[in-house]
Copies of this chain bind each other. A is one copy, B any other.
Amino acid sequence: MKDKMTIILFSGEMDKAIAAFTLATTAAASGMEVAIFFTFWGLNILKKSKFSITRSQNMLQKMFNFMSTSSLPITKLNMLGLGPWMMKKLMKKSKMASLEELMSLAKELKVKYIACTTSCGVLGLAKENLIDEVDEFAGASTYLNEAKDSKINLFI
């Protein structure tokens, strides 16, 4: 049986997402079985890039989504608006993989994406609002079952 790792990706910031996917892809490449459980702001990473506000959403969910979509911020330096721009530039210069590249690598390596159903409910997100690469929609008990058998469990 393969060694397992789980990551709860709660944060929607680009720097934390990159850390999560770097760990996930490195683990999967070395033969581990990896599952990422996307919850709260982490779901932003799974949104289709041009997320069209759906009819079924109520006014509050529309506002919420409007405020939380678009490009991912990074934890620091946001005040100046320089953060994400600078980070992308630096990553390119040092030939570090971008989040997009890491995510496509993750899928090649069969990293499992689980979207938290409870958070989707709160945010008014339906299946069709998220990218097709999501493997499963499930709640905390599914996560706990995965995590119980895993050697490494992280909350990011």
On A, residues with C-beta under 8 Å from B are 3, 5, 8, 10-12, 15-16, 19, 22-23, 26-27, 30, 32, 39-41, 58, 60-61, 63-64, 67-68, 75-77, 80, 82, 86-87, 89-91, 93-94, 96, 118, 121-124, 139-141, 143-144, 147-148, 151-156
Residues on B with beta carbons closer than 8 Å to the beta carbon of A16: 10
Measured CA separation A3–B153 after assembly (Å)? 15
Which residues on the B side are within 8 Å of A60 (C-beta)?
Answer: 86, 89-90, 93
What are 29 A-B residue pairs whose CB atoms fall within 8 Å in the complex? A8-B19, A10-B15, A10-B19, A11-B75, A15-B41, A19-B39, A23-B143, A26-B140, A27-B140, A41-B76, A60-B89, A63-B82, A63-B86, A67-B80, A90-B122, A90-B124, A91-B122, A94-B122, A94-B124, A96-B118, A144-B152, A147-B151, A147-B152, A148-B151, A148-B152, A152-B153, A153-B153, A153-B154, A155-B156
